[in-house]
Amino acid sequence: MKDNQDILLTIAATLRSFLDPLLGQPDAVDVAMYGVGLAVILGIIFGNAVILVWAERKVAGYMQSRPGPNRVGPIGLLQTVADTIKLITKEDIRPKGVDRWVWFLAPVVLFVPTLAAYAVFPFSDGLIAVDLNIGLFYFLAIASTVTIPFLMAGWASNNKYSLLGGMRSVAQMVSYEIPLVFSLVGVVMLVGSLKMSSIVEAQSGIWFVFLQPVAFLIYVIAATAETNRTPFDLVEGESEIVAGPMTEYSGMKWSLFFLAEYANLFAVSAIATTVFLGGWQPLPMPGALGEMLAAIPGWIWFAAKTYFMIFLFMWFRWTFPRFRVDQLMAFGWKVLLPLALANILVTGVGIYAYRMAIGG
């Protein structure tokens, strides 16, 4: 199975053999390869953001019976490029009275953990920057730090609406972090490992979305809230709190917030793919069709499933109206959290029942 896929792995091996005589020492080659990996991940993040901004506007357009961007380039493909140029050339305004360093660091602090989280995504069999033993835990730990820059931005802006927006976004993200993590526990119990590649390999027979449907539902809802997307986009409830913590940011600083938002969207979709949708595993089909599907490289499967999840999140965004803040809190704490805990209990009982039935 490994020989047909992974043109990317072949490229990596070729690059390594090319660097080997050039640098001499194996450690130096490793460092160089990590540098290449970092560059690739940055490329994925930026390229993705460009595509997703365009895709979101196209999806929004089509769902509202209008064409979406279609002026710049063929079918509007260069629209995001134009937007990017506009953002880069925009004046970088620093309002009077901001807490200078905290204000400056907030977008950076937001972007760095997002970048770091990409290290553990299993894009394909063997195509993973660092296959940590605690991969899932690492992702959750890194992802949970993005609440801090929101509070930093809100507080340092020296603006009461930004502060309120920041506080609200932090309250929301903290509330939904817990059901998000707990929804993944069921899968971890089934696999018995936090390693990303093990989680994907455990799904070669059946995807966990079928074994853990409730957990998948909880994950999707909590992930929507985590990425601050509609119907949970209270951070940007423009009629209530202007644009939340990023009100005072302009130009490149603002675009870093935006970039992190889309990088996060890709991240939660990638985790949903890895944990629930079988990662880079092909669609399990019997017979010749199954073989045909298995011939498609793993990273294409991974990308397809991830983009399906992203489309799902976009679909939510252009369908559902926004929650009210008290409804949001009540739903998170009184519905999702008990449901996630119950799911863990049922999974545990189920595992024991299965072992007893098997006679282990």
CB 209, min distance to other proteins, A: 17
- Compute the distance between CA of residue 282 and CA of residue 285 in angstroms, rounded to an integer: 8
Secondary structure (3-state) at 4: coil
Task: Please identify which residue in 26, 43, 67, 338 interacts with other proteins, judged by CB under 8 A.
Answer: 67
Nearest CB to other proteins, comparing residues 161 and 318: 318
- Compute the distance between CA of residue 226 and CA of residue 73 in angstroms, rounded to an integer: 33
Nearest CB to other proteins, comparing residues 70 and 144: 70
Nearest CB to other proteins, comparing residues 258 and 311: 311
User: Binding-site residue total for other proteins (CB under 8 A)?
Assistant: 14
CB 237, min distance to other proteins, A: 20
| Residue 126 per-residue DSSP state | T
Task: Please identify which residue in 21, 22, 66, 288 interacts with other proteins, judged by CB under 8 A.
Answer: 66
Task: Please identify which residue in 64, 89, 288, 357 interacts with other proteins, judged by CB under 8 A.
Answer: 64
Q: Among 55-63, 124-132, 253-261, 286-294, which window interacts with other proteins (CB under 8 A)?
A: 55-63
- Compute the distance between CA of residue 221 and CA of residue 313 in angstroms, rounded to an integer: 9
CB 318, min distance to other proteins, A: 6
CB 54, min distance to other proteins, A: 16
* Residue 75 lies near other proteins (rule: CB under 8 A): no
* Residue 223 lies near other proteins (rule: CB under 8 A): no
CB 232, min distance to other proteins, A: 14
Per CB under 8 A, contacts with other proteins among 265-324 are 315-316, 318-320
Q: Which residue type does 207 have?
A: W
Nearest CB to other proteins, comparing residues 110 and 222: 222
* Residue 59 lies near other proteins (rule: CB under 8 A): yes
CB 191, min distance to other proteins, A: 28
Secondary structure (3-state) at 301: helix
Provide the 10 A C-beta neighbour count for residue 350. 14
CB 351, min distance to other proteins, A: 27
Q: How many helices (H) and strands (E) does the chain have?
A: 16, 0
Nearest CB to other proteins, comparing residues 64 and 89: 64
* Residue 2 lies near other proteins (rule: CB under 8 A): no
Q: Which of 190, 183, 167, 178 is nearest to 219 (CA)?
A: 183
* Residue 65 lies near other proteins (rule: CB under 8 A): yes
Q: Among 12-20, 44-52, 66-74, 300-308, which window interacts with other proteins (CB under 8 A)?
A: 66-74
Reading the block at residue 353, the tokens are: 């029942």
Q: Which residues make Cβ contacts (< 8 Å) with residue 298, sequence separation at least 6?
A: 5, 6, 123, 124, 125, 127, 279, 280, 281, 282
- Compute the distance between CA of residue 236 and CA of residue 243 in angstroms, rounded to an integer: 5
CB 342, min distance to other proteins, A: 15
Distances (CA, A) of 143 to 74, 109, 154, 203, 315: 36, 12, 19, 24, 23
- Compute the distance between CA of residue 281 and CA of residue 283 in angstroms, rounded to an integer: 7
* Residue 62 lies near other proteins (rule: CB under 8 A): yes
* Residue 63 lies near other proteins (rule: CB under 8 A): yes
Asked if 346 and 211 count as a contact pair (C-beta separation under 8 A), the reply is no
Asked if 81 and 238 count as a contact pair (C-beta separation under 8 A), the reply is no
CB 149, min distance to other proteins, A: 31
Nearest CB to other proteins, comparing residues 315 and 354: 315
Q: Which residue type does 90 have?
A: K
| First and final C-alpha spacing in the chain | 32
- Compute the distance between CA of residue 9 and CA of residue 355 in angstroms, rounded to an integer: 38
Nearest CB to other proteins, comparing residues 53 and 59: 59
CB 62, min distance to other proteins, A: 5
Reading the block at residue 341, the tokens are: 């805990």
Q: Where on the chain is the footprint of other proteins (CB under 8 A)? A: 59, 61-67, 70, 315-316, 318-320
